[in-house]
Amino acid sequence: MDGITIKQALRQAQHTLYGNAGAQIDSELLLASALGCTRTHLYTWPEQVLTTSQQSYFDSLLDRRVMGEPIAYVIGEREFWTLTLRVNRHVLIPRPETELLVEMALSILPAQGQRVADLGTGSGAIALALASERPGWEIYASDLSADALRVASDNALSNKLGNVFFAQGSWCEALPAGPLHMIISNPPYIDPHDSHLSQGDLRFEPRSALSAEESGIADIRTIITQAPTHLSPGGWLLLEHGYEQATAVRALLVSRGFQDVRTLQDLNDLDRVSLGQMPS
Ligand code: GLN
């Protein structure tokens, strides 16, 4: 029997994923990934016939998506800022709201000569977005997980970003000597008892990147405690946190001596990022 065409494969996949939000876009992403082509190609060449191996590879990707695996893991990539980042189950899937940290860092710091660290970098999203915008900065990216650091350094290579230096270790312990102008982190902050951890995409993401003790605040507390000894006078700390944690995070920042402490809202108008500055 002849193989099926691109058009037929898309129709079948949409039928299989029917009921999943985003069935059409997922079908396109999966087929483009299986064929190694762009989504535009699918609509330019709808009559192209899949080879047997393309079809069975496509079926295997579709099966994984049907089992609930996040689309980013199945196709192995996710867009963040202007970059395409490789992702796998060792790293959190970059979220759009995390771009708020990148925007703030770019707007606060001078364009030249800054030393900045991204703690718990995962796929490298924050560090690499900053590196792409500010080739003159020295950026340090740390993670406790060697598997995550492999993903992040692959992403630095594939995006041709040379000004990011990777180090393995826990929060500020991985940082080099010498003061930094800014420390940024999107640490784990979900309460371990939160039922969302057993739903949707979160089921497949590394638990250590999502959830922290003390109702989710433990790692944020550690970072706030450690950061001042690594920051220059006037240096900044920027943290992503849960939408109900802003008051607690601001209190921790103030009690550790940070000034100008404030919280910013994400695109959904939820408290998402808090920041503070060391006295100069
Ligand atoms: N923002 C993510 C979520 O709620 C969690 C990311 C994190 O813990 N840093 O899905």
**Residue 18: which pLDDT band, with cuts at 50, 70 and 90?**
confident
Residue 46 has pLDDT above 80, yes or no: yes
Taking the model in full, what pTM does it have? 0.95
pLDDT tens digits along 73-129: 999 999 999 999 999 999 999 999 999 999 999 999 999 999 999 999 999 999 999
For ligand 1, the distance from its centroid to the CA atom of residue 241, given in whole angstroms, is: 8
For ligand 1, the distance from its centroid to the CA atom of residue 189, given in whole angstroms, is: 7
| pLDDT score for 21 | 78
For ligand 1, the distance from its centroid to the CA atom of residue 188, given in whole angstroms, is: 7
Pocket of ligand 1 (CB under 6 A): 92, 95, 186, 188-190, 210, 240
Of 3, 12, 116, nearest to 55 (Cα)? 3
Atom of ligand 1 nearest to the CA of 189: 8
For ligand 1, the distance from its centroid to the CA atom of residue 232, given in whole angstroms, is: 29
pLDDT tens digits along 211-238: 999 999 999 999 999 999 999 999 999 9
**Contacts of 88-91 spanning 24+ positions with Cβ under 8 A:** 88/151, 89/204, 89/205, 89/206, 90/145, 90/147, 90/148, 90/150, 90/151, 90/206, 91/122, 91/123, 91/145, 91/147, 91/148, 91/151, 91/152, 91/206, 91/209
| pLDDT score for 2 | 78
For ligand 1, the distance from its centroid to the CA atom of residue 190, given in whole angstroms, is: 7
As a whole number of angstroms, the distance between CA 246 and CA 239 comes to 10
pLDDT tens digits along 171-209: 999 999 899 999 999 999 999 999 999 999 999 999 999
For ligand 1, the distance from its centroid to the CA atom of residue 169, given in whole angstroms, is: 21
pLDDT tens digits along 233-260: 999 999 999 999 999 999 999 999 999 9
Atom of ligand 1 nearest to the CA of 98: 1
Residue 1 has pLDDT above 70, yes or no: no
Atom of ligand 1 nearest to the CA of 216: 8
Residue to mutate (ligand 1; options 78, 80, 93, 95; most atoms within 8 A of CB) = 95
Atom 5 in ligand 1: residue holding the nearest Cα: 210
Atom of ligand 1 nearest to the CA of 95: 1
As a whole number of angstroms, the distance between CA 255 and CA 249 comes to 10
